[in-house]
Structure 1
Amino acid sequence: MNNNKPSGIVLIEQPGAPDVLKYQNLTLQHPGPDEVLIAQKAIGVNFLDIFFRNGTFPMSQYPAPIGFEASGIIEAIGTNVSGFTVGDRVAYYASIGAYAEKRVINTNEIFKLPEDISNEQAAAVMIKGLTAHMLIKQSHKVKSGQVVLIHAMTGGVGTLLSQWGRALGATVIGTVGSAAKKDLAVKRGFNQVIDLGSEDFVALVNQYTNGKGVDVVYDGTGKTTFEKSLTVVKDGGSAVLYGWPSGMPDVDNKLMLQRKIKFAHDALNDYPLYQDKSGKGMPEIFSLLRNGVFEPEQSFIYSLTEAATAHADMESRKTTGSIILKPD
């Protein structure tokens, strides 16, 4: 292969709306020592990417790379590479610059994909699966018999959280943003689903729990839901905030102290399994896929050249489950 031919990449031109994502071509060098060249097959899109694009998490300079996870096939290797060879299927997460057709990357940042996990499955569940792992194992350890409230339960993380919580024996109550998403959640077997567009979630949660409240709320939405959610958390329960696309809520620490509510605001970037790029956290995530605990909806697939559209659709809540970019 000619490694000097142009390769497509999406860069953030400057912080802003989705249209600041620009597709362009650049020339890749042959991989250096301890590096490989990957022809990427599936690229995961996460809400985290939006925070980098819109400037919530500013980059040191622009144009800037974007995206943190992808899977693909090794096309070339540099010197000193051991354990990997041309033709290997590999994946990575926590490595910025994933929105690209091809990529040169250090072997410390990749791991081999099991034969029975497809490129699309890997891109759909790596970061979202690790986020769910952090939330359900660290932020609040979900146990059988507990009652769990999950906002945006048909989103990428919400889908996995809901399914995993149910498998652990918890009663799952979820909220969604439309009647269509409620129908989707009900089809997945969840019977206590609340449409925030037309229903009062506080009243319905109290109805579902006979006024006893929930053991934990998982909130990846922020200001529009978090403060009301505290009213339905049991004294001694947990309030977990892991995203705030609707704005950062006002956190009433005094109230939570009085009611002994544990507030968790864990960051994936600080989670040891995310920091470890060797794929150490993946066997459990992939096992949940194999065993049918995780049943991700068919991913929304966009061309890499349509990254801006994918971001716009995700922000406007047009999508459910996972979003994947594919090079043409």
Structure 2
Amino acid sequence: MNHQKSTGIVRIEKPGPPEVLKYETVDLPDVKVNEVLINQKAIGLNFLDIMFRDGRFSMDAYPATLGLEAAGVIEAIGTGVTDFAIGDRVAYYGTSGAYTEFKIINSEDIFKLFDDISFDQAAATMIKGLTAHMLIKESYQVKAGDFVLVQAATGGVGSLLSAWARSLGAKVIGTVGSPGKKQLAASRGLDYVIDLQNEDLSERVASITNGKRVDVVYDSIGRETFNQFVKVVRKGGTIVSFGAATGWPEPDRHMMEERGVRYVQGILNNYAGYQNKKSDAVIEVLEKVSEGILQVEPTIYSLSDAALAHADLESRKTTGSIILKS
């Protein structure tokens, strides 16, 4: 039985700039065995989406629908679904095609939301929170007393990563690209903030750490800034690359070997906590939201304005997480 005749959806016909994202209305297929229909209340936007949109990551076929996470309410269930009922509040991550008002999805790919987690909070924190989980627990194990440098500290991942590291007793130094973002980072309780537009990175890190430099740098920018951040890591320290906003890093191997700096690539798709959707990782992320450690006040765009949201994220106009809503 067809429970919903049509849905608003954002698709691309081919890779390209934000303008390739087109909002249209399509007919929905029937809900099949083991599937559910979700009325999506909040859809997460991640930098990963930009990389799928511009062709850095390939889609299986076109036209393609982007998006990897959302939260909403079950409106219909197919035969064979026993763990969920109509009206359940649910969420999912890591399943493509989230940029749609209504989504048909296998019930194995969803989970019930905690009562005290809003749809907006879930859509804004699952993938970014799992990224922070990977960086803090696996790429480098953050300890109390560590000096941790987080690039783009007011961004979606940067905000959560900074808060989580601080909760573990680390001393967090955040870098930002403007005075306005420095003020925002400071208002969120960041220990130290460096405005790269107006302050010298090496001098400020030396001053903050009394010349010791930092134990770990979390780099999300990539090629443009990578090697200057290697210079502020202590001997035997770690630099973790988990993003490539300006292209993948080209490490100065000689400088890193000379100082014994460990280089780690944090790749979410290879992380067991992300791949195994029944793992404790996402539960731990949502628990941190419930406890108030991970706080999100997402910027909201209309689903039909997905192209504008992409353009604003790409040009670094936004701070924190972004979600799309119908």
TM-score (norm 2): 0.97
Residues 71 and 91 in structure 2, CA contact (< 8 A), matched pair in contact too: yes
**Matched residue, 1:309:** 308
Please name the residue that 1:274 is paired with.
274
Contact 2:153–2:162 under 8 Å retained in 1: yes
Identify the residue that residue 137 of structure 1 maps to in structure 2: 137
Partner of 1:323: 322
2:294 corresponding residue in structure 1:
294
Alpha-carbon distance in 2 for matches of 1:168, 1:9: 41
| Per-residue deviation, residues 74-132 of structure 1 (Å, max 9, x unmatched) | 11111111111111111000000000000110011000111111100100110000000
Q: In the alignment, is the contact (CA less than 8 A) between 1:42 and 1:70 conserved in 2?
A: yes
Distance 2:2 2:78 in 1: 14
Amino acid at match of 1:19: E
Give matches, 1:1-328, under 5 Å.
3-278=3-278, 280-296=280-296, 298-327=297-326
Contact 2:240 2:264 in 1 (8 A): yes
Q: Give distance in 1, aligned partners of 2:74 and 2:129.
A: 24
SS of match in other structure, 1:223: coil
3-state SS in 2 of match to 1:161? helix
By how many angstroms is 1:4 displaced?
Answer: 4.6
Q: What percentage of residue pairs aligned between the two structures are identical?
A: 55
Provide the C-alpha distance between the structure 2 equivalents of 1:280 and 1:309, rounded to a whole number of angstroms: 35
Kept after mapping to 2: 8 A contact 1:66/1:96 = yes
Q: Take 1:273 and 1:173, find their aligned partners in 2: how far apart are those partners?
A: 26
Deviation for aligned residue 1:191 = 3.9
Q: SS state of the match for residue 230, structure 2? A: helix
TM-score (norm 1): 0.96
Q: Which runs of 4+ in 1 moved over 4 A?
A: none
Letter in 2 for 1:323: I
Counterpart secondary structure, 1:224:
coil
Deviations 1:241-264 (A, max 9, x none): 000111222112343233221111
Query: Alpha-carbon deviation of 1:202?
Result: 1.8
Instruction: Name whichever of 247-256 and 133-142 sits farther off.
Output: 247-256
Equivalents in 2 of 1:4, 1:120: separation in Å? 23
Distance 1:93 1:60 in 2: 18
**Alignment gaps of 5+ in structure 2:** none
Q: State the alpha-carbon separation in 2 of the partners of residues 148 and 191 from structure 1.
A: 10
SS of 1:288 mapped into structure 2: helix
Q: Could you report, residue by residue, the CA deviation over 1:269-322 in whole angstroms, capped at 9, with x for unpaired residues?
A: 1111111223632221122112221122x2110110000000011111111111
CA contact (8 A) 1:11 1:65 kept: yes
Distance 1:85 1:126 in 2: 22
Contact 1:30–1:37 (8 Å) recurs in 2: no
Could you tell me how far apart the structure 2 residues matched to 1:109 and 1:311 are?
Answer: 26
